[in-house]
Amino acid sequence: MSSLKDISSKSSQTTFDKKVLSAVQHLHPYVKHRIYIAETTGILPKNMYSSNGIIDDCIIELYTKGFNIDAERMAVKLELFRLIDDYMNNLFKKEAFHKNTISTDSILKDELDRLGENYTIDADLDLILNTELSDISYHQDEGNHLYLYEDKETSILRAFELEDLSATQAPKVFGRFYHWLPINISNIVDLYIFGNLDFEDIAKIKNIETSRVELIFEKVKKSFRKHLE
């Protein structure tokens, strides 16, 4: 099994090793941000997980299960993002008991019953296509303040076409953004902004249609604007 440390220290790296190493620089900003969001919203206990540890585990899994060593560099990068995505989704589910306000499947079904909606639960993504985000906000732990670096705030504002938001208003908005947005939907936003992936790449990672990713992103943009009002 090859960890990041192992392949970094090889005197003669294979072409595949180099493809893996080149992908790592793109993984770290995304993984660090997802850990920070999960810690701040109370899903993960603080200081228990690191981006290095999570990425290393996923690299080990990549080598253990075997992957086409002749694959293009982008294919290797997307496979690592997919492994990271699966790893963190499972981690969030496992650690969800640290957050007593998060909606589990059973709680979510109860919420939908009260809304008079008849849905089957499919990782919440089907739900998001039919219900306004503001109606299913998770109201995560709003007591914890969330701060983003200014360049990341700018990236999100540009993605949502809100560059004219004032410097004093932006921190307040982002302090709430990740509290009302369901964690698996913010995942798509973060793959786009912090993972620097386009909608087609995200669709491959999530194994859904590109049009669906675009629609979810548009829903988030509209709901984001509503939360500014």
Q: Where are the domains of the chain?
A: 4-98, 105-226
Q: Please work out, in degrees rounded to the nearest 5, the angle formed at the alpha carbon of residue 79 by the alpha carbons of 5 and 85.
A: 90
Alpha-carbon span 126 to 153, nearest angstrom: 28
Token duo for residue 13: 């790296």
The Cα–Cα gap between 87 and 58 comes to: 8
Question: In this structure, what DSSP letter does residue 69 have?
Answer: T
Candidate ranges 90-99, 151-160, 179-188, 201-210; pick with highest mean pLDDT:
201-210
Q: What is the pLDDT of residues 17-49, one digit of tens each?
A: 889 999 999 999 999 989 988 888 788 888 899
Is the pTM here over 0.85, yes or no? no
Identity of residue 181: L
What is the C-alpha R_g of the chain? 18
Q: How many alpha carbons lie under 13 Å from residue 46 in its C-beta half-sphere?
A: 4
Q: How far apart are CA 113 and CA 110, in angstroms?
A: 5
pLDDT at 175: 61
What's the one-letter identity of residue 180? W
Q: What is the spatial distance between Cα 158 and Cα 150, in angstroms, rounded to a whole number?
A: 12
168 CB-near residues (< 8 Å, 6+ apart): none
Mean pLDDT over the full length of the chain: 72
